[in-house]
């Protein structure tokens, strides 16, 4: 993968020597980096709309460790790929980190090419994540343009009801349902019913409706 001009590699909790070495290595292949001494500094500058890779020092400054930081990141909805760098091998910690979602766990001194390969893999994964998130945000914006009645009709359309059944359920005429349904398709930019259902699934609308019924 060629480095994207919008991508960023965050170095979190790395000591000065390691941080300078990593920044030099990553910048040598055109990857922009940003050093953050602790999680507070990272959260202040993190851009969720930009593809990213997080390089975490196993012992993060400011109290705590990489495993605790992973938990904190998940709680705040940050799902950018994580690579952990440790001073010494710790099998239990490595297993826990990988179970919590870390992409890789490297012991110092690490192979530079393996690190670069991991970072490029992480950024490739996050490009996909950012694209999917942008698409979901766009679908939510479209959904928010629907009127309350149009949302009601969408509710029953994605449940598989026919226009006649929807009309009976909402106490409307079949013609009125057809008009609302056409507006739903137009506003959501859906060409087919299956496409509309996939949109509802993508942004969690179908799951929400199922929980309410």
**pLDDT, tens digit (0-9, with 9 covering 90-100), for 68-99:** 777 778 788 888 999 988 877 667 777 877 88
pLDDT of residue 94: 77
Average pLDDT of the segment spanning 56-66 = 60
The residue that leads in pLDDT, 195 or 4, is 195
pLDDT of residue 188: 96
pLDDT band at 5 (very low <50, low <70, confident <90, very high): low
Mean residue pLDDT of the chain comes to 85
Number of C-beta neighbours around residue 159 at 10 A:
16
- pLDDT value at 61 more than 70: no
Directed axis angle between helix 193-202 and helix 174-188, to 10°? 60
Beta strands in the chain, from DSSP E residues, in sequence order: 8-12, 33-36, 52-57, 82-86, 104-107
- pLDDT value at 212 more than 60: no
C-alpha to C-alpha distance for 181 and 175, rounded to whole angstroms: 10
pLDDT of residue 60: 54
- pLDDT value at 205 more than 50: yes
Asked if residue 7 lies in contact with residue 52, where contact means CB atoms within 8 angstroms, the answer is yes
The residue that leads in pLDDT, 110 or 154, is 154
Directed axis angle between helix 112-144 and helix 174-188, to 10°? 150
pLDDT of residue 62: 43
C-alpha to C-alpha distance for 52 and 123, rounded to whole angstroms: 6
pLDDT of residue 86: 81
What global pTM score does this model have? 0.68
Directed axis angle between helix 112-144 and helix 16-28, to 10°? 80
The pair of three-digit structure tokens given for residue 8, joined into one six-digit string: 């960023």
Number of H helices, E strands in the chain: 10, 5
pLDDT band at 102 (very low <50, low <70, confident <90, very high): confident
C-alpha to C-alpha distance for 210 and 50, rounded to whole angstroms: 33
Percent of the chain with pLDDT over 90: 47
The pair of three-digit structure tokens given for residue 75, joined into one six-digit string: 């709680």
pLDDT of residue 63: 44
C-alpha to C-alpha distance for 3 and 7, rounded to whole angstroms: 7
Per-position b or e across 92-110, b if 16+ CB within 10 A of its CB: ebbeebeebebbbbbeeee
């Amino acid at each position: 993968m060629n480095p994207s001009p919008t991508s960023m590699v965050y170095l979190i909790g790395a000591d000065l020597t390691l941080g300078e070495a990593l920044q030099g290595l990553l910048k040598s292949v055109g990857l922009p980096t940003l050093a953050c001494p602790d999680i507070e500094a990272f959260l202040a500058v993190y851009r969720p709309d930009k593809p990213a890779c997080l390089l975490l020092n196993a012992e993060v400054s400011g109290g705590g460790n990489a495993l605790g930081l992973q938990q904190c990141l998940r709680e705040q909805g940050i799902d950018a790929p994580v690579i952990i760098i440790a001073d010494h091998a710790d099998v239990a910690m490595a297993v826990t980190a990988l179970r919590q979602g870390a992409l890789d766990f490297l012991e110092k001194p690490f192979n530079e090419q393996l690190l670069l390969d991991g970072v490029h893999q992480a950024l490739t994964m996050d490009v996909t994540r950012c694209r999917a998130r942008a698409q979901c945000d766009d679908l939510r914006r479209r959904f928010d343009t629907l009127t309350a009645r149009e949302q009601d009709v969408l509710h029953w359309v994605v449940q598989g009801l026919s226009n006649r059944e929807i009309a009976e359920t909402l106490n409307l005429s079949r013609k009125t349902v057809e008009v609302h349904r056409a507006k739903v398709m137009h506003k959501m930019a859906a060409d087919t019913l299956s496409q509309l259902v996939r949109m509802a699934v993508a942004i969690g609308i179908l799951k929400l409706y199922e929980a309410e019924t």
